[in-house]
């Protein structure tokens, strides 16, 4: 396998079973151009009278970006409140313009017919200096991430994530940094999104305190690998493939494709899995010396997944996983 082929293995390719459009996967536009970069949808009756269902509606994507056809994408109830991608794009543009970021790059990820969209915008003027040593700079930059769907599969969700700028593989969020609604009318106002962004950026985030705590807690490879085998694999909700990746990254500092052991179907130890050394994990985290290093590896793995939902859910669980690791580490396993 080529050294740079890791993205072919763990690059995001689908979202809850739907393929991502190659045209829009990781497409970046200026924040001021968001509305025009998103499709329009129409809410219509489900069927033609008298062969219709008055309690259901259908949602159609209008012709968009070279596709001249109208595409049916969902069936919803007659109580469903359609939140257009273009509307939330307008909210985001207004909020970013007010913050002086109208030209910020907005990364769009979208399914084939646009049913689901994910928009991430780095807030480049809000970087936080985390390091106390000027000789070892360590900065975190917040990113606003908005997800939405018109097929009921994904709630309208606004998140403030903190990403490490040195290697861009560390990304964290906390419960207070999320605003979510399943298309409720009272949330469908730009003021709420704007106030959420302003409130989260006006004070030092709780995550900064957590990062400081993790950096002070010493650990080592043996302890991290034991936690991976004994806790993360059993209780953490991670797949054995991801656990094997973490175990071998701790061992070698490299990530790659996973090949399970051959032979009888039994619970093989993680060291028995073969993980290719196809890509060196960025950042000064080999060998691990602190809990902070372990956190960086967790977010590296959750950021390199085959589906959007695995990326989103995995990243949001990192703080709770770290709480479990700190407890394991404190129990005298280091």
Residue 1 in any domain: the answer is no
- Give a yes or no: residue 144 inside a domain: yes
Angle in degrees, 0-180, between the axes of helices 206-216 and 291-303, rounded to the nearest 10:
120
Nearest to 245 by CA among 276, 267, 203, 208: 276
Residue at which a domain ends, from 183, 203, 223: 203
pLDDT at 26: 79
For residues 39 and 180, membership in a common domain is answered with yes
Domain span holding position 241: 214-333
pLDDT tens for the 334 residues of the chain, in order: 444 567 778 888 888 888 888 777 779 999 999 999 999 999 999 999 999 999 999 999 999 988 999 999 999 999 888 889 999 898 888 888 887 888 899 999 999 999 999 999 988 777 777 665 555 667 888 888 899 999 988 888 888 888 887 766 667 777 777 776 655 555 556 677 777 777 776 666 677 778 888 989 999 999 999 999 999 999 999 999 999 999 999 999 999 999 989 876 678 999 999 999 988 998 888 999 999 999 999 999 998 998 888 888 888 899 999 999 999 998 765 4
Structural domain includes residue 5: no
**Within a domain: 179:** yes
Quote the number of domains for the chain: 2
pTM listed for this prediction: 0.85
- 44 and 131 in a single domain? The answer is yes
pLDDT at 189: 60
- If asked whether residues 34 and 108 sit together in one domain, one would say yes
Query: Is residue 2 included in any domain, yes or no?
Result: no
Closest-CA residue to 95 (of 206, 15, 179): 179
| Domain shared by 254 and 310, yes or no | yes
In a domain, 74, yes or no: yes
pLDDT computed for residue 184 by the predictor: 57
236 & 285 share domain: yes
CA distance between the termini of the chain = 35
Same domain, yes or no: 45 and 145 = yes
Tokens of 123: 């807030």
Q: Is there a domain that residue 151 lies in?
A: yes
Please tell me whether residue 157 adopts helix, strand or coil conformation.
strand
Whether 254 and 174 share a structural domain: no
Contact 84, 124 (CB under 8 A): no
Residues 243 and 314 both lie in one domain: yes
C-alpha distances out from residue 295 to 195, 312, 320, Å: 30, 16, 11
Dist CA 179 CA 251 (whole Å): 38
**What is the Cα–Cα distance from 95 to 190, expressed in whole angstroms?**
8
Beta carbons of 154 and 117 less than 8 angstroms apart = no
Looking at the domain assignment, is residue 294 inside a domain? Answer: yes
163 shares its domain with 142: yes
pLDDT at position 92, please?
87
Consecutive H or E run containing 274: strand 274-275
The answer to whether residues 197 and 231 belong to one domain is no
The residue out of 203, 229, 245 marking a domain boundary is 203
Same domain as 188, residue 60: yes
């Amino acid at each position: 396998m080529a050294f740079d082929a890791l993205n072919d293995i763990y690059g995001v390719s689908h979202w809850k079973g739907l393929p991502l459009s190659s045209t829009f996967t990781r497409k970046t536009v200026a924040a001021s151009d968001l509305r025009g970069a998103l499709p329009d949808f129409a809410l219509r009756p489900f069927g033609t009278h008298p062969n219709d269902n008055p309690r259901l509606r259908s949602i159609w994507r209008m012709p968009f970006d070279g596709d001249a056809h109208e595409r049916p994408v969902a069936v919803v109830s007659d109580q469903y409140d359609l939140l257009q991608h273009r509307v939330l794009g307008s909210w985001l543009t207004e909020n970013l313009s007010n913050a002086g970021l109208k030209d910020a790059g907005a990364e769009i990820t979208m399914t084939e017919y646009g049913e689901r969209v994910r928009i991430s915008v780095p807030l480049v003027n809000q970087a936080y200096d985390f390091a106390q040593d000027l000789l070892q700079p360590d900065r975190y930059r917040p990113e606003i991430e908005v997800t939405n769907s018109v097929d009921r599969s994904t709630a309208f969700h606004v998140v403030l994530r903190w990403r490490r700028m040195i290697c861009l593989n560390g990304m964290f969020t906390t419960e207070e940094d999320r605003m979510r609604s399943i298309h409720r009318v009272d949330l469908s106002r730009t003021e709420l999104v704007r106030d959420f962004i302003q409130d989260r950026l006006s004070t030092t985030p709780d995550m900064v305190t957590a990062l400081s705590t993790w950096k002070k807690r010493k650990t080592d490879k043996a302890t991290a690998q034991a936690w991976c085998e004994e806790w993360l694999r059993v209780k953490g909700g991670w797949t054995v493939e991801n656990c094997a990746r973490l175990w071998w990254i701790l061992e070698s500092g490299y990530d790659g494709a996973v090949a399970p052991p051959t032979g009888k179907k039994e619970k093989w130890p993680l060291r028995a899995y073969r993980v290719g050394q196809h890509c060196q994990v960025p950042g000064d985290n080999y060998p691990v010396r602190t809990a902070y290093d372990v956190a960086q590896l967790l977010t590296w793995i959750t950021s390199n997944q085959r589906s959007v939902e695995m990326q989103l859910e995995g990243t949001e669980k990192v703080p709770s996983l770290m709480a479990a690791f700190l407890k394991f580490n404190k129990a005298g396993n280091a």
